[in-house]
Amino acid sequence: MNSTLASASPYLASFPFPSSLPTAVVIPLAIVGAFIVICLVNGLSQILIPQDPSLPPLVFYWIPFFGSAASYGEEPLTFFFKCREKYGDVFTFVLMGRRMTVALGPKGNNFILGGRLTQVSAEEAYTHLTTPVFGKGVAYDVPNHVLMEQKRFVKVGLTIEHFRAYVAMIDKEVGDYFDSSRFFPTYQTGSTTEWGKFNAFRALSELTILTASRTLQGEEVRNGLDASFAQYYHDLDGGFTPLNFMFPNLPLPSYWRRDRAHKAMSDFYINVIQKRKEQGGSEAGYDMIESLMNQTYKDGRALYDYEVAHIMIALLMAGQHTSSATTSWALLHATARPDIMEKMWEEQVKLFGQPDGTLRPMTFEDMKEMPVLDSVIRETLRMHPPIHSIIRKVIAPMDVPGSLAAPSKDRSYQIPKGHFLLASPAVAQIDPKIWKNADTWEPGRWNDTDGVAAEEYKKYVDSEGDKVDYGFGLVSKGTESQYLPFGAGRHRCIGEQFAYVQVGTIIASFVRRIEMKIEGRVPDHNYRTMITLPKEPCNIMYRRRQAPSA
């Protein structure tokens, strides 16, 4: 058999395997040998063959196609910092056959997030991941101007008036959860001082979907969470992973479950919409479904039922991991800092304390009077922005401005059509050249009116002269800010205010009901998911507060 193989291939014939080796050994050795040769040729060609000088520097890699997938996938920010040191703010790396050009810093963010529609496309970068999950006719399955209109429709349903109602609804949901969740079985009665513990990410994921459905999603979805809807969500979420981003369709059970769950969830929403049409509205009042059902495109057409359904799925997915990760990181850090926990509690006692020792209910207006809570959220989003890589596809060649990265005075780089662009505002947010003690979670930095944080935040919210209306209200174009957890430009997040209300109310509700301390230390990042999550174990110890709250 060995000799048959050898004679069949002159390459194998010359390989130095003793003829007595069994086939089961020869074939793998031959494959490994060939693989090593291919990698060597690939590596040497990068060293020996001069690169096209109009292209940004290429991050060295041994394995063709795979490229820098391992270093990027495991620790993307460390990878970016290392590459920046070696190549500057603009460089290209290979990721599973794709050429990814990274542009760092505020100028890099501006270049990518403020890129022209004729040159960069989010649709082409994301649609293969999102359309099987969200469904047809929305988000990245439609031309950009349609998405801009859809973002405007959603904004109509995200008003201050709604947020006012949401605070009490979210607080109540947290209270009910403490009474019923398997994560909170420990009660302190009389002299008992036993501490219980909960898994921060799991508990906060459950609370995020419960509170989002009670508020934004509507009564039917909230009721469905106790039944079939929760399973659809789980299976759909299983189709929103880095593997799905790399390979849109593989013959795997998780892909089939994703497709079945999408169909079931889409039908669920369509049924809700049709029932509401028959009944002439929702019994529960005015929620996002109701709001979307009453919108019309610029050409006068109302949204089709399936468009409403798919926008609702998109909102569910866009807000779920981003908010639950933020709340988890905030609580994990705060519980590791007893001084901050104490300050958050004191803030509540000062604001809500009543003569009988109970705390009065919170309101939306109160939340603006809670600087400690606010700084906890801002600092968490600085260190743990849930989205570490924002991606676009280059659809027409783009010149990199000289001010961003130019190899020489009279030459700039050009990024070819077909490359992907990658912005990572997360890098600037933890850059030690910008932030003092950049890798320390320190909410106090946001209360220093002369500090970098205040300056960057002002640029973030103000960005004078840099605001554009892409069709869903004024947003900053790309900003010069070093702090962009919600992105910038035409694809900027529209859920920021809702997220602040949701995350802020959940944290405040925890603080008023339980004392907390971390078990162990703040966990490391898990970058293997689409959203940057805390690694397991991420447990928090709790003890119910003795003083009842209203």
498, 510, 527, 542: which one contacts ligand HEM (CB under 6 A)?
Answer: 498
Q: List the one residue out of 416, 394, 463 whose CA is nearest residue 124.
A: 394
Part of the chain binding ligand HEM (CB under 6 A), chosen from 186-194, 317-325, 412-420, 537-545: 317-325
Residues in the chain: 550
Part of the chain binding ligand HEM (CB under 6 A), chosen from 79-87, 178-186, 233-241, 322-330: 322-330
- Minimum CB separation from ligand HEM for residue 152, in Å? 11
* CA separation for the pair 425, 451 (Å, rounded): 19
> What secondary structure letter does DSSP report for 402?
T
Q: Is residue 533 part of the contact set for ligand HEM (CB under 6 A)? A: no
12, 26, 210, 315: which one contacts ligand HEM (CB under 6 A)?
Answer: 315
CB of 393 or CB of 491, closer to ligand HEM: 491
CB of 121 or CB of 549, closer to ligand HEM: 121
* CA separation for the pair 106, 381 (Å, rounded): 17
* Residue at 433: amino acid letter: K
Q: Is residue 413 part of the contact set for ligand HEM (CB under 6 A)? A: no
109, 244, 323, 509: which one contacts ligand HEM (CB under 6 A)?
Answer: 323
- Minimum CB separation from ligand HEM for residue 541, in Å? 25
Q: Is residue 255 part of the contact set for ligand HEM (CB under 6 A)? A: no
Q: Is residue 534 part of the contact set for ligand HEM (CB under 6 A)? A: no
* CA separation for the pair 309, 134 (Å, rounded): 9
67, 105, 115, 386: which one contacts ligand HEM (CB under 6 A)?
Answer: 386
57, 108, 485, 534: which one contacts ligand HEM (CB under 6 A)?
Answer: 485
**CB-based contacts of 237, cutoff 8 Å, min separation 6:** 317, 320
By beta carbon distance, the residue nearest ligand HEM is 495
* CA separation for the pair 120, 27 (Å, rounded): 45
101, 127, 322, 424: which one contacts ligand HEM (CB under 6 A)?
Answer: 322
- Minimum CB separation from ligand HEM for residue 136, in Å? 16
Q: Which of residues 98-137 bind ligand HEM (CB under 6 A)?
A: 122
**Contact indicator for 377, 334 with CB cutoff of 8 Å:** no
- Minimum CB separation from ligand HEM for residue 315, in Å? 5
Q: Is residue 218 part of the contact set for ligand HEM (CB under 6 A)? A: no
Q: Is 227 exposed, middle or buried (0-12, 13-18, 19+ CB in 10 A)?
A: exposed
Q: List the one residue out of 542, 494, 493 whose CA is nearest residue 517.
A: 542
- Minimum CB separation from ligand HEM for residue 422, in Å? 11
**Contact indicator for 5, 17 with CB cutoff of 8 Å:** no
**CB-based contacts of 17, cutoff 8 Å, min separation 6:** 2, 26, 29, 30
- Minimum CB separation from ligand HEM for residue 431, in Å? 18
CB of 137 or CB of 487, closer to ligand HEM: 487
Query: Any known ligand binding at 83?
Result: no
What's the token pair of residue 107?
């100028």
178, 229, 255, 486: which one contacts ligand HEM (CB under 6 A)?
Answer: 486
* CA separation for the pair 35, 52 (Å, rounded): 26
Query: Could you give the maximum distance between any two Cα atoms of the chain, in Å?
Result: 94
Strands (E), 350-472: 390-394, 398-399, 414-415, 420-423, 467-469
**Contact indicator for 134, 309 with CB cutoff of 8 Å:** no
Indicate the annotated binding residues for heme: 493
Binding site for ligand HEM (CB under 6 A): 122, 147, 151, 315, 318-319, 322-323, 326, 385-387, 390, 485-487, 491, 493-495, 498-499
Indicate the annotated binding residues: 493
